[in-house]
Structure 1
Amino acid sequence: MARLPLHPLHPLHPRQSPQSRQSRQSRIPRLAAAAAAGTALTVLAAGPAAAGDPTVTNPHIVAHFDFAAGQNAENIALEPDGSADITFAFAHQVARVGQDGGTEILATLPEVPGAVTLVGGAIATGIARAHDGTLYVNYVTGKRETGIWRLSPDGDLRQIGFFPANAVPNGLALDEECGTLYTADSALGTVWSLPVTGGEPTAWATGDALEPTAELPFGANGLKVHDGAVWVSNSARGTLLRIPIGPGPDHAAGPVETRATGLTAIDDFAFTGHGDTVLAALIQANKLELVRPDGTHKTVLTDKDGLDNPTSVAVHAKKVYVNSAAYFNTLDPDPNLLLARISKNKL
């Protein structure tokens, strides 16, 4: 694959003056290394439609965001009323988007001078919501501000999780029953656990299945807690993984199971219901993929439906939400929030 053209906001783009190059953080997408290196991930042939497959219909964009302002829609958590809490990656913001598209900025993470990360500058990534309305957000800075930040319902924003400076905490999920936050580290190939009371994280799960590759420095990415296990996507390896949560007070990680392969540059994902059927965002392919419990999968949405480098997925009632960050679109980037109707299966 040929090298992607430089994004107009990239500090090395010819339009950028030396002053503007220095003032703007690089907005190279997280997976640009894949294109530059010409990585070709094997795609598993989609299986035939199954009787239990949910259907995804009536896709429509409800909100367009400001690409130039860094409002790359990165991750999503849902409110009880169906509003979406979204992280804007390079704006370092948390926003709430109503189903009518109305957008409110809830908080802005602090600027970090000299931030250097795998994607250039500081970036807000995963988000999770507690039942009381508290939001937890991952912040990647290459400095001491890297970790998990808590945004309380009254607007108080503070860091509670202090991660290694070279960590890239990405997908984030909260197990409220155990009072534990889990996050996937894309750079270090680790699933970290952190009590909601905060502190330094524990390396809960590690291993080759979570690691990035030489061709692509983004390994473990999306993360969900589901049915007694932590599920993780690996962007570099195109896989969906399941890690059982063990019994006892330490809830130790069980052996990593590979549940699906051939999910090219998978980012975040969400479960469609009580079973193990998943909707996965394939960021470079501009696809939303339905992944069945047996690992076969098929495409249910594409760029023709409005996807522009989809990053994350959520399901609420009869709706599916898909964020697009437009990281790779150098012609007409359209970061947005798409909603569609979903009829759930019973698997």
Structure 2
Amino acid sequence: MRKRMMTLAVALAAAGVSVVTVAPSSVAQAGTARASAVGPSTAPLPSRIAVHFDLANGQMPENIAMGPDGTAYVTFAAARQVAAVTPSGATRILATLPAPADGGVNTPVLGFALTTGIVRMADGTLYVLYASGDAATTGLYRLRPGRVPQRVAALPAAGLPNGLAFDAVARRFYVTDSVLGTISTVPLRGGHAEVWSSASELASTGFLGANGIKVRPDAIWATNLDQGTLLRIPLRHSRPGPVRVVATGLVGIDDFAFVGAGDHQVVAALNGPNTLVSIDAAGRSRTLMSGADGLQNPTSVAVWGRTLYVLSAAYTTGADPNLALATLPRR
């Protein structure tokens, strides 16, 4: 596990993403110091660390989907696992994705197989992305309650499928590939993946490009970690319109979520800087949480009522992967 983290730290540094590999107390100070680089701080959100995960067993939480009862469904990247975390904090492993024959050493950029994006359907079925560098196992998997995971769509082994979102109207998934710099679609029933956009705004500049993704009624939104951008791509009869850069300067941006029904406020995880930020309609960002609040390379965020669920993977800090809960102010 230490070797995997060192490999990732080197890759992050090469990509120009700030890397912290010091003691937890120093990590908190570093996260606070970087907050001013993102934007003016807000009053701290009331927050707490709700769950501590097992770093030694690869429990680096990468992505999250919420159930109606407040259960968080998460992917543990390095463990190749899917887990359910109950509102009381109990963690149950639901499935482990198959190890590739080479152990995952040929996974692009990272050098280890990992579970990434996750979507939960109304009937409890989970869909999960898996990047292994292996043509026989890389792809989109379906996990029905009480069943074993089944691959429903193959994805390029030379890429790194990362973000996953579902369009209930079109009945298809959108998948970002952080290495190939693309967004692809996969029908709900599974089958062939089709590249939907390969716009330059999705490209990597050396590490990871297109990352988080969300579906809105009239557009697809995505992030680019290397370029530090939040993007909006209009839906024009299911085809992509011109990409609009909504916000810039978001170093190490990973996944994100919308607050409320509109597109006026986004909350986003900035992985390397150890911060959670809000982004308004004008593209201005403000720090909501930092390393001082216990963030350890935050990877994703979900909104459930007035509660923010924030996952930290500790990819480079090497300390305390966790789930933090924060309370949004009343509107």
TM-score (norm 1): 0.85
Amino acid at match of 1:130: M
Q: Which residue of 1 aligns with 2:151?
A: 159
Structure 1 pair 44–240 and aligned structure 2 pair: CA distance change class (3 A): farther
Q: State the partner residue of 2:21.
A: none
Inter-CA distance 104–203: structure 2 relative to 1 (3 Å threshold):
same
Aligned: 1:326 with 2:314: yes
Question: What's 2:176 paired with?
Answer: 184
1:60 alignment partner in structure 2: 48
Question: Which of residues 107, 127, 136 in structure 1 aligns to 2:95?
Answer: 107
Q: What root-mean-square deviation, in Å, do the aligned CA atoms of Structure 1 and Structure 2 show?
A: 2.0
Task: Work out whether 1:341 is the aligned partner of 2:327.
Answer: yes
Quote the offset at 1:230 in angstroms.
1.0
- The 2-side partners of 1:329 and 1:254 are apart by 38
Q: Structure 1 residue aligned with 2:13, among 28, 31, 35?
A: 35
Q: Kindly indicate whether residue 65 of structure 2 is the aligned counterpart of residue 87 of structure 1.
A: no
Q: Offset at 1:157?
A: 1.3
Determine the C-alpha separation between the residues in 2 that align with 1:68 and 1:167.
Answer: 27
Displacement of 1:47 in angstroms is 6.0
Which residue number corresponds to residue 76 of structure 1? 64
> Quick one: which amino acid aligns to residue 53 of structure 2?
F
Distance 1:94 1:288, change over 3 A: same
Instruction: Specify whether residues 56 and 242 from structure 1 end up closer, same or farther in structure 2 by C-alpha distance, changes over 3 A only.
Output: farther
Residues 44, 208 of structure 1: alpha-carbon distance in 2 compared, 3 angstrom cutoff: farther
The answer to whether structure 1 residue 127 and structure 2 residue 114 are counterparts is no
> d(CA) in 2 for partners of 1:76 and 1:32?
26
Q: 1:196 aligns with which of 185, 188, 197?
A: 188
1:121–1:313 Cα change, 3 Å: same
Distance 1:39 1:104, change over 3 A: closer
Deviation, structure 1 residue 186: 0.1
SS at the partner of 2:2?
coil
1:226 positional shift? 1.8
Letter in 1 for 2:85: V
Instruction: Determine the C-alpha separation between the residues in 2 that align with 1:31 and 1:218.
Output: 13
Q: Which runs of 4+ in 1 moved over 6 A?
A: none
3-state SS, counterpart of residue 250 of structure 2: coil
Q: 1:105-155 deviations in whole A, cap 9, x for unaligned?
A: 111111112121121110000001111111110000111211100001232
- CA distance, structure 1, for counterparts of residue 280 and residue 69 of structure 2: 28
1:322 positional shift: 0.3
- Contact 2:131/2:161 (<8 A) preserved: yes
Q: Report if aligned partners of 2:17, 2:272 keep a CA contact under 8 Å in 1.
A: no
**TM-superposed deviation, 1:45:** 5.9
> What TM-score, normalized by structure 2, do the two folds share?
0.89
Q: Hey, what does 1:23 align to over in structure 2?
A: none
Where does 1:291-306 land on structure 2 (aligned, <5 Å)? 291-306=279-294
Gaps of 5+ in 2: 19-35
Task: Give the match's secondary structure for 1:343.
Answer: coil
Q: CA deviation at 1:67?
A: 0.4
**Change in CA separation of 1:44 and 1:56 when aligned onto 2, cut-off 3 Å:** closer
Match of residue 230 from structure 2: 240
Q: Distance in 2 between matches of 1:34 and 1:263?
A: 15
Q: Tell me, in whole angstroms, the C-alpha distance in 2 between the residues paired with 1:196 and 1:28.
A: 37
Distance 1:273 1:95 in 2: 26
CA distance in 2, matches of 1:79, 1:317: 12
Larger RCO (CA within 8 A; separation ≥ 6): 2
* AA in 2 matched with 1:84: A
Contact conserved, 1:238 with 1:263, CA < 8 A, in 2?
A: yes
1:156-186 deviation per Cα after TM superposition (whole angstroms, max 9, x unaligned): 3100111111111101011122110001100
Q: Return the alpha-carbon distance in structure 2 between the equivalents of residues 47 and 287 of structure 1.
A: 13
Label 1:31 to 1:291 Cα distance change in 2 as closer, same or farther (>3 A): farther
One-letter amino acid matched to 1:33: A
**Are 2:251 and 1:259 equivalent residues in the alignment?**
no
Q: What is the distance in 2 between the residues matched to 1:343 and 1:265?
A: 26
Structure 2 Cα separation of the partners of residues 44 and 256 of structure 1 = 26
Given the superposition, is the C-alpha separation of residues 134 and 39 from structure 1 closer, same or farther in structure 2, using an over 3 Å criterion? closer
How far apart are the structure 1 equivalents of 2:207 and 2:299? Answer: 17
Aligned residues: 310
